[in-house]
Amino acid sequence: MDNKKNTPIDRENIQEKYKWDLESMYANNEAWEEDFEKVKVLVKEISKYKGKTVESSSKLLEVLKLKDDLYRKISNVLVYARMRLDEDSRKSTYQALTDRATNLYVLVNSETSFIVPEILSLEEDDLEKYMQEEEGLKLYEHYLEDVLRGKNHVLSQKEEALLAEIGEMASTPETVFSMLSDADMKFPSIKDESGNNVEITHGNFIPLMESNDRRVREEAFKAVYNTYEEFKNTFASTLNGCVKKNIFYSKARNYSSSLEAALDENNIPTSVYDNLINSVHNNLDAMYKYMDIRKRALKLDNLHMYDIYTPIVKDVDIKVPYDESQTIIKEGLKPLGKAYIEILDEGFNSRWIDVYENRGKRSGAYSSGTYDSKPFVLLNYHETLDNVFTIAHEMGHSIHSYYSKTAQPYIYGSYSIFLAEVASTTNEALLIDHMLKNVKNDNEKLYLLNHYLEQFRTTVYRQTMFAEFEKNIHEYVENGGALTADYLCEMYKGLNEKYYGPDMVVDEEIAFEWARIPHFYYNFYVFQYATGFSSAVSLSQQILEEGEEAVDRYIGFLKSGNSDYPINVLRKAGVDMTTSEPVDKALGLFSQLVDEMDKLI
């Protein structure tokens, strides 16, 4: 068996040590069924409290504890089923388990929807009295504060139950997108650099786009986006459905926009989103200069969209076997201290990671798991430098989860999506710093600079372009527009022209890229890649410059979970995202690195 080939293999042919240990969650499907039934029992038990949540301080505590037990259990049931399905989305057994778990999760949401409205029926003075007389409620102080903050956006018990019931239907656009993109669609084969037939997959598309052979890049690019073009109307319908879902929920909860509704969940002002887009708009000249350098370095008359992933330096071929990547990552993250590296080692050696691509496997990479499980990582590993950084990135998520759930009780054991990308990209920033400091020659330094600039391009500029696209399409529908495939293609192509500048030939095929991006179904998620990267640049510099004091602040950040609002958690670590400073500083560093590369070209 050869995991290094571009063509995906069947899962049973991959060695056990390269597969995640989901058996540590449930030994078999029968054990999962037992918890599935236990959730149903807990649902019946909590429903008995309807109308009684705030009868007394002790009753309130009972409800909150039972709710924690219920969500802790259903999380295990749902996450396990989804991760099993992600191993091979063609397996009907796990399609069924995921469907059942999703339905049960909707039931849990419905049957617990009375809790918040009943808490909000209490006057603040009465709630304060409860807090004083029942010691156990002290644990829930921040949770209750956050509930009260959303008082104007919580509906009646009957309305909340109705919204919860809609949950299953509301997930349809994302489900259809995933099934079409991951399970049903098939890309054609092309000839690789050696003339061998290679079937294009989600996992090997970017490695093919990094090829030194321009023919391979162009053929892969056109093959993928021409395939999406064939399904453009279906993808436009799924995205339109998702946007309408977001708008429906925002209106139902009395928000002025879907953006406000999405950000308010974590108490993030919309100005943070707008400031990000404005800051990037004000720093597009550096991106244009980078594209000009790329064109000159590649000795091209015209720079096309399929030329932006290939390394500028052609005679440095960095291939990194998976086992070797672990050594490199551990060296790069040494500034975070011995305890952090020990946790990293545990992850590598205890099967947290599902490493290689197989037929039917979900594309991309992610960190998942529950409060009670290992922090799992899904990869589709190919031996590229980019994939090494993907491991560091996803392990940043997982170790953040590890610290949070170890340091915090269940109620605060996770962290908000606004903070989700900070730890992951701090790992990347530390790793690239290590590699640049240990570079062997100017050529290799140029290669690494190219890679780091690509992190800025893809994580700050590109994700901000995605964020602007999301904002535009939501506002368009909120103002009465309809998201047709033609409209989406026109807008998306225009944004590419704006962000990449005059030295880029924006090929017609890129107009269909919006159909390929799963994050557009995540309700204003992607802007946090850019804010997270900007925060990470600041934190990594503090760690490298200040040493132990900054590391202590940072580990404190990782341990904070949801014990405070994310803006406050990040501020304690040393970054204030209510100002434009972190984004401006990150883009200032990008500009400096572009100038440094220009001197080496």
pLDDT in tens, 476-495: 999 999 999 999 999 999 99
How far is residue 269's CA from residue 597's CA, in Å, rounded to a whole number? 36
**pLDDT tens digits, residue range 277-314?**
999 999 999 999 999 999 999 999 999 999 999 988 87
Mean pLDDT of 150-169: 86
pLDDT tens readout for residues 463-473: 999 999 999 99
Q: What is the pLDDT of residues 260-282, one digit of tens each?
A: 999 998 999 999 999 999 999 99
Mean pLDDT value across residues 437-457: 88
Question: Which residues, in sequence order, are bridge partners of residue 511?
Answer: none
Residue ranges per structural domain of the chain? 11-170
Termini Cα distance of the chain? 41
Is the model's pLDDT at 150 over the cut of 90?
A: no
- pLDDT band, residue 6 (cuts 50/70/90): low
At 203 the pLDDT is 86
Pick from 2-6, 181-185, 531-535: least confident: 2-6
- Give Cα separations from 219 to 197, 211, 226, 301 (angstroms): 12, 11, 10, 19
Residues in the chain: 601
Q: Average pLDDT in the 74-93 region?
A: 96
Average pLDDT, the chain: 94
Q: How confident is the model at residue 3 (pLDDT cuts 50, 70, 90)?
A: very low
State what percent of residues in the chain have pLDDT above 70. Answer: 99
Instruction: Report which of 423, 389, 402 is spatially closest to residue 350, judged by C-alpha positions.
Output: 402
User: Burial, 487: exposed, middle or buried (Cβ in 10 Å; 0-12, 13-18, 19+)?
Assistant: middle
Q: What is the CA radius of gyration of the chain?
A: 24
Q: Residue 581 — very low, low, confident or very high, per pLDDT cuts 50/70/90? A: confident
The predicted pLDDT at position 176 comes to 95
| Residues sharing a CB contact under 8 Å with residue 153, sequence separation 6 or more, in sequence order | 253, 254, 255, 261, 264
| Mean pLDDT of the region 27-46 | 97
Q: Which of 87, 118, 229, 394 is catalytic?
A: 394
- For the segment(s) 11-170, the CATH number from 1.20.140.70, 1.10.1740.10, 1.10.340.30, 3.30.360.10 is 1.20.140.70
Q: What are phi and psi of 11, to 5 degrees?
A: -60, -35
Inter-CA distances, 301 with 292, 293, 442, 454, 464, Å: 11, 12, 25, 21, 28
pTM over 0.85, yes/no: no
Distance separating alpha carbons of residues 450 and 93, to the nearest angstrom:
44
Answer yes or no: is pLDDT of 254 > 50: yes
Which of 318, 294, 289, 288 has the alpha carbon at shortest distance from 445? 318
Q: Report H helices in 185-283.
A: 202-209, 214-230, 232-252, 258-264, 270-281
Q: What is the pLDDT of residue 399?
A: 98
CB distance 232 to 185 below 8 Å: no
Give 371 or 152, the one with higher predicted confidence. 371
Confidence band of 542 (pLDDT split at 50, 70, 90): very high
- 394 catalytic, yes or no? yes
Res. 1: pLDDT tops 50: no
Q: Tell me the percentage of the chain whose pLDDT exceeds 90.
A: 83
pLDDT value of residue 440: 83
